[in-house]
Amino acid sequence: MDFTIFLIQILNSLQYGLLLFLVASGLTLVFGIMGIINLAHGSFYMIGAYLAFALTSLTGNLMLAIVLGLPLAFIFGALLEWLLFAHLYKRDHLEQVLLTYGLILIFEELRSLAIGDDVHGVNIPALFSASIPLSDTLSYPVYRLLISAVCIALAVGLWWLMQRTRLGMMIRAGSHDRDMVQALGIDINLLYRTVFALGVALAALAGMLAAPISSVYPGMGGSVLIISFVIVVIGGIGSVWGALIAALLIGFADTFGKVLVPEFAGLAVYLVMAIVLLWRPEGILKKG
């Protein structure tokens, strides 16, 4: 493999891994803090992508669509938590699986009713549509670098939020002992709602950012969901840092798998998972 192509694959792996981190971080947070397994998390990614498509067609600009779409996703997440997920905290995992499975079916059909089953493209904003030439024939699109940059900024922001702010402190405390936090006078329901809505917004943002690259198509949520599960399992449930390491690992495994053994590319991700499970059944960074 020549160096330029190698470099491009490295950049692609990083970009894919970081994007997956956005989806998986919400999943692992919601799981680690509220103890909920949410199969519908992939749907939030799909909803984000379709929001990007719909709002871009409306406003003509993806950036504007994201600015409009993010609060919508956040509000949608808060509503959903209030209506449904708040009733699930005390139920067992099996019932959480089923209810969220039912939600997937509902979201997919609503998407089909509202926008249809066609594949749609979303244009990259003109500002970032350039490519950086790497050699005479090869170049790298600026937009992909932008995605990586945004994701890195968000990862740092998430770290800051969790470790350095009062809200983060409450969230971390809430994941240890719900009753104690409540006894200290903190509104735990509001806290949970915020975390859940944050998770939805992160997944939707990942979908919006990915829309121009992957295009927008039915069933896009399902594959992302399962990959996110793999990431959460590898990283250790509830650990945001574990999710970051695992997401990058998966980004590299998948991208290089496609280049080196195209025939079995779909399997690379799961092989990584199987190896990690043999080595550490509870994930790389298991949270207490």
Partner 1 sequence: MNPRIALVLKLAALVGLIVFPSFGSSFYTEMVAKMLILGIFAMSLDLLVGFTGLVSLGHAAYFGIAAYTVALLTPKYDPANFWIALPAAVLAAAAAAFVIGLFVLRTKGIYFIMVTLAFAQMVYFIFHDTALGGGSDGIYVNFKPDATIAGWQPFNLDEPLQLYYFVVAALVAVFVFLTLVLRSPFGKVLVGIRSNEHRMQSLGYATFRYKLAAFTLAGGLAGVAGFLYAVLFGFVTPEYLSWHQSGNVLMMVILGGMGNLAGAVIGAFAFIGLQEMFADWTKHWQLLMGGVIVAAVLFMPGGLSALPGRVLKKLNQESKHG
Angle at 236 between CA 8 and CA 288, to 5 degrees: 145
* CA separation for the pair 43, 93 (Å, rounded): 19
Dihedral sign, Cα of residue 171, residue 44, residue 19, residue 220: positive
Which of 153-161, 162-170, 223-231, 240-248 is the region at the interface with partner 1 (rule: CB under 8 A)? Answer: 223-231
C-beta closer to partner 1: residue 209 or 233 = 233
Residue 162: other Cβ atoms inside 10 A: 16
| Phi, psi at 140, each rounded to 5° | -125, 130
Angle at which helix 265-279 crosses helix 220-235, to 10 degrees, equals 30
C-beta closer to partner 1: residue 94 or 126 = 94
Interface with partner 1, residue 139, by CB under 8 A:
no
Q: Could you tell me how many residues of this chain bind partner 1 (CB under 8 A)?
A: 42
Q: Which of 5, 58, 105, 190 binds partner 1 (CB under 8 A)?
A: 105
C-beta closer to partner 1: residue 127 or 277 = 277
Interface with partner 1, residue 102, by CB under 8 A:
yes
Give the shortest CB-282-to-partner 1 separation in angstroms: 7
With contact defined as beta carbons under 8 Å apart, do 104 and 223 qualify? Answer: no
Q: Which of 10, 132, 260, 274 binds partner 1 (CB under 8 A)?
A: 274
Q: Which of 5, 60, 87, 149 binds partner 1 (CB under 8 A)?
A: 87
Q: Which of 10, 75, 79, 98 binds partner 1 (CB under 8 A)?
A: 98
Q: Which of 68, 70, 72, 84 binds partner 1 (CB under 8 A)?
A: 84
Interface with partner 1, residue 176, by CB under 8 A:
no
Phi-psi group of 37: left, alpha or beta (phi > 0 → left; psi -120 to 50 → alpha; rest → beta): beta
Q: Is 88 helix (H, G, I), strand (E, B) or coil?
A: coil
* CA separation for the pair 171, 167 (Å, rounded): 6
Interface with partner 1, residue 108, by CB under 8 A:
yes
* CA separation for the pair 243, 249 (Å, rounded): 10
Q: Which of 75, 110, 153, 260 binds partner 1 (CB under 8 A)?
A: 110
* CA separation for the pair 176, 60 (Å, rounded): 45
Interface with partner 1, residue 93, by CB under 8 A:
yes
C-beta closer to partner 1: residue 130 or 274 = 274
C-beta closer to partner 1: residue 111 or 193 = 111
Interface with partner 1, residue 261, by CB under 8 A:
no
Interface with partner 1, residue 240, by CB under 8 A:
no
Dihedral sign, Cα of residue 143, residue 148, residue 152, residue 154: positive
Interface with partner 1, residue 282, by CB under 8 A:
yes
Q: Is 89 helix (H, G, I), strand (E, B) or coil?
A: coil
Q: Which residues contact 10 (CB under 8 A, 6 or more apart)?
A: none
Dihedral sign, Cα of residue 192, residue 194, residue 197, residue 202: negative
Interface with partner 1, residue 232, by CB under 8 A:
yes
Q: What residues line the site for partner 1 (CB under 8 A)?
A: 31, 37, 39, 84, 87, 91, 93-95, 97-99, 101-106, 108-110, 112-113, 222, 226, 229-230, 232-233, 237, 263-267, 270, 273-274, 277-278, 281-282
